[in-house]
C-alpha cells in the first residue's frame, strides 16, 4: 500500500473556504449536525460551487464591457495620425516625426496579428518563470500565445522601475499578475492601474500549496472579494511530498515525490480567452497603443506650440506693464487692460488652432479677468509684489510700479493659463462652443500656484523694475537688487 503524506492543496482549500462561509451564514440554523460530516459535505458542494463561479466565462467579463471592433480601432489610429500630421505641418523637420510615422504603420499591421501576447508580471519570487515554463507545456492554444516575463515589480526605486514595467505590460494583450499571498497596497495599486487602462487581467495566487487548506481558502476568498472575480489559484511547482510504501514483509520504504503542477483552472481560462476573444484582445491592445501614440504626438506638438507661445506671452506682459505704469489705476482694476489681453488671446488661439474673433477674444479676456478677481488672484499677487517692492522706498514710491509689475504678472498668468487650457483640448475645437469655465478656473488656480513661489516672484519683480524705471533711477535700487537677487 502506498500512502502519500502531503499538505492539502487547492481542492480541499476551495471546499473549506466555502464551508467556512456557509457555516457563518447558517450558524443560527444548524442544529444537531456532526461537525466533520457537515464539513465533508460542504467541501464537496463548495468545491463544485466555486468551480462554477470560476468558470472561464468570468474571466471574459472585463472584455465584455469593452465595445471595440476593427472600425473603432482604425478610427483611433486615424486620430493619432491626424495629430502627427499636424505636428509635421507646424514643425516639418521635427526629430520625432519619423519614429511616430513608423509606429502608425506598425499599428495598422497589428490589426491582423494572430499571436496573442500575454505578460506574466508580479513581484520578486512569485514564480513567474516557473509558471511560464509549465504553461508552455500545458496550454492547448500555445501555438497562438507568446508568454513574456516582465522584470519584477516593487523593487527599490520602485517609482521609476514599476512605471517602466507597467509601460511594457501595456503593450501586451493579456496579463497574468502573480502574487503568493494577500495583496499588498503596492500590488493593489498596480492592479488598479491595469484596470484603469482596460488591460484584461487574471490575478494568480501562485504557490498556494504552501498554505494550509484553511489559510489558502481564506487568502483566495479575500482576493476574490477585493478584485471582484478573475482570480485563480495555482501551484506551478508544488512542494515535494513524502511517499511511504508498506511491504508485505512489514518493512517500510519512503521517498520524496514531485506532484504534478496544479494549473488546470488557469489553463482552462487562458484557452477559453484565447479561443473566444483572441481577435478582440488584439483590437483592444491596438486601440490602447493608438491612444498612447496620440498622447506622445500631442506632447511633441504642445511642446512646439509652447515654444512659439512663450515669446508672445512675454511680449504682452511687458506691454501691459508699460500701459499700467504710464497710467496707474487702482490695484483691483489692473485687468482693465482688456484690449491687450484680448489681442493676446487671439494670438495664442491662432497657435493652438483655436480661432477667435475680436469680440470672442474680448469675451475670453473679460471672463479670465472676472475669474481672477473672484478667486482673489489679483489681490494676492498685488500684495505679494508690494511686499517685495517695499524693501526699497525709492522703488515703492515710484508712480505706477506696483501696478505695472502686477499687470505684467497677471497677464503672464493669464497667458500661461490659456496655454495650459488649450493643451488639454483636442487639436481643433470650434471656439463658438465657448470655454469650460470650471476647467479654466482650475487651470488658473494651478498656474497661479506654480508662479507664486517667492523665488520666482523676486526674479520677476527684479526684471520688471529694470524695464519700467529709467536707468538713472535704477542706480538707487541697491536694496531691491540685494533683496530680489
Q: Give per-residue pLDDT as tens, 194-220.
A: 988 888 999 998 887 777 777 878 888
Q: Is the pLDDT of residue 359 over 80?
A: yes
Segment of 160-169, 235-244, 258-267, 312-321 carrying the highest mean pLDDT? 312-321
What digits encode the pLDDT tens for the residues 431-441? 445 678 788 88
- CA–CA dist 94, 461 (Å, integer): 36
Residues 441-462, mean pLDDT to the nearest whole number? 85
Whose cell is 496655454? That residue is 419
What digits encode the pLDDT tens for the residues 172-194? 999 999 998 888 898 999 999 99
Residues 345-353, mean pLDDT to the nearest whole number? 92
Strands 145-149 and 174-179: unpaired
Q: Is the pLDDT of residue 475 over 70?
A: no
Q: Which three cell numbers stand for residue 174?
A: 493579456
Instruction: Find the length of the chain.
Output: 485
pLDDT of 322 reads 87
Angle, vertex CA 96, rays to CA 92 and CA 102, nearest 5: 100
- CA–CA dist 51, 213 (Å, integer): 16
CA-based end-to-end distance of the chain: 91
- CA–CA dist 471, 467 (Å, integer): 9
Handedness of CA 133, 139, 145, 151 (dihedral sign): negative
Residue 262 to residues 209, 258, 266, 280, 401, Cα–Cα distance (Å): 9, 12, 9, 29, 78
At residue 248 the predicted structure's pLDDT band, cuts being 50, 70 and 90, is confident
Segment of 335-339, 387-391, 432-436, 438-442 carrying the highest mean pLDDT? 438-442
pLDDT-wise least confident of 94-103, 160-169, 333-342, 416-425:
333-342
User: pTM of this prediction?
Assistant: 0.72
Average pLDDT over all residues of the chain: 78
pLDDT of 402 reads 83
Contact 174, 117 (CB under 8 A): yes
Segment of 116-120, 339-343, 423-427 carrying the highest mean pLDDT? 116-120
Instruction: Put the strands of the sheet holding 252-257 in their side by side order.
Output: 2-5, 241-246, 252-257
pLDDT of 96 reads 96
**196: Cβ contacts below 8 Å, ≥ 6 apart:** none
DSSP 8-state class, residue 336:
G
Report residue 2: phi and psi, to 5°: -105, 125
Amino acid at each position: 500500500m502506498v500512502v502519500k503524506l502531503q499538505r492539502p492543496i487547492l481542492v480541499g482549500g476551495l471546499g473549506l473556504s466555502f464551508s467556512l462561509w456557509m457555516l457563518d451564514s447558517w450558524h443560527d440554523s444548524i442544529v444537531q449536525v456532526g461537525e466533520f460530516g457537515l464539513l465533508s459535505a460542504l467541501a464537496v458542494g463548495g468545491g463544485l460551487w466555486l468551480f462554477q463561479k470560476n468558470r472561464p466565462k468570468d474571466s471574459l467579463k472585463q472584455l465584455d464591457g469593452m465595445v471595440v471592433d476593427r472600425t473603432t480601432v482604425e478610427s483611433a489610429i486615424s486620430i493619432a495620425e491626424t495629430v502627427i500630421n499636424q505636428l509635421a505641418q507646424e514643425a516639418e523637420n521635427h526629430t520625432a516625426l519619423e519614429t511616430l510615422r513608423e509606429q502608425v504603420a506598425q499599428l495598422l499591421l497589428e490589426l491582423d496579428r494572430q499571436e496573442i501576447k500575454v505578460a506574466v508580471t508580479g513581484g520578486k519570487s512569485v514564480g513567474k518563470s516557473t509558471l511560464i515554463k509549465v504553461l508552455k507545456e500545458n496550454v492547448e492554444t500555445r501555438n497562438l500565445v507568446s508568454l513574456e516575463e516582465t522584470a519584477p515589480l516593487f523593487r527599490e526605486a520602485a517609482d521609476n522601475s514599476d512605471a517602466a514595467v507597467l509601460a511594457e505590460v501595456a503593450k501586451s494583450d493579456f496579463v497574468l499578475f502573480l502574487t503568493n499571498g494577500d495583496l499588498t497596497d503596492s500590488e493593489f495599486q498596480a492592479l488598479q492601474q491595469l484596470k484603469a487602462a482596460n488591460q484584461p487581467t487574471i490575478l494568480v495566487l501562485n504557490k498556494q500549496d504552501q498554505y494550509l487548506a484553511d489559510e489558502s481558502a481564506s487568502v483566495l476568498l479575500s482576493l476574490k472579494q477585493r478584485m471582484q472575480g478573475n482570480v485563480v489559484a495555482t501551484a506551478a511547482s508544488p512542494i515535494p511530498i513524502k511517499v511511504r510504501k508498506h511491504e508485505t514483509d512489514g518493512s517500510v520504504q519512503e521517498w520524496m515525490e514531485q506532484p504534478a503542477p496544479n494549473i488546470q483552472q488557469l489553463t482552462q481560462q487562458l484557452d477559453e480567452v484565447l479561443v473566444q476573444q483572441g481577435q478582440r484582445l488584439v483590437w483592444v491592445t491596438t486601440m490602447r497603443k493608438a491612444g498612447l501614440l496620440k498622447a506622445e504626438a500631442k506632447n511633441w506638438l504642445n511642446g512646439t506650440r509652447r515654444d512659439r507661445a512663450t515669446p508672445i506671452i512675454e511680449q504682452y506682459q511687458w506691454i501691459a506693464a508699460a500701459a499700467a505704469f504710464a497710467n496707474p489705476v487702482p490695484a483691483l482694476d489692473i485687468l482693465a487692460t482688456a484690449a491687450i489681453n484680448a489681442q493676446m488671446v487671439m494670438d495664442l488661439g491662432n497657435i493652438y488652432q483655436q480661432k477667435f474673433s475680436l469680440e470672442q477674444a474680448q469675451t475670453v479676456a473679460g471672463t479670465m479677468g472676472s475669474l481672477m478677481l473672484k478667486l482673489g488672484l489679483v489681490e494676492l499677487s498685488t500684495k505679494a509684489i508690494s511686499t517685495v517692492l517695499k524693501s526699497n522706498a525709492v522703488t515703492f514710491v515710484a508712480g505706477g510700479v506696483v501696478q505695472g509689475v502686477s499687470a505684467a504678472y497677471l497677464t503672464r498668468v493669464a497667458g500661461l493659463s490659456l496655454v495650459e487650457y488649450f493643451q488639454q483640448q483636442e487639436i481643433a475645437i470650434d471656439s463658438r462652443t465657448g470655454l469650460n469655465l470650471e476647467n479654466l478656473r482650475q487651470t488658473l488656480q494651478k498656474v497661479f500656484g506654480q508662479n507664486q513661489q517667492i523665488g520666482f516672484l523676486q526674479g520677476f519683480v527684479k526684471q520688471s523694475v529694470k524695464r519700467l524705471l529709467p536707468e538713472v533711477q535704477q542706480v538707487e535700487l541697491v536694496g531691491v537688487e540685494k533683496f530680489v537677487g
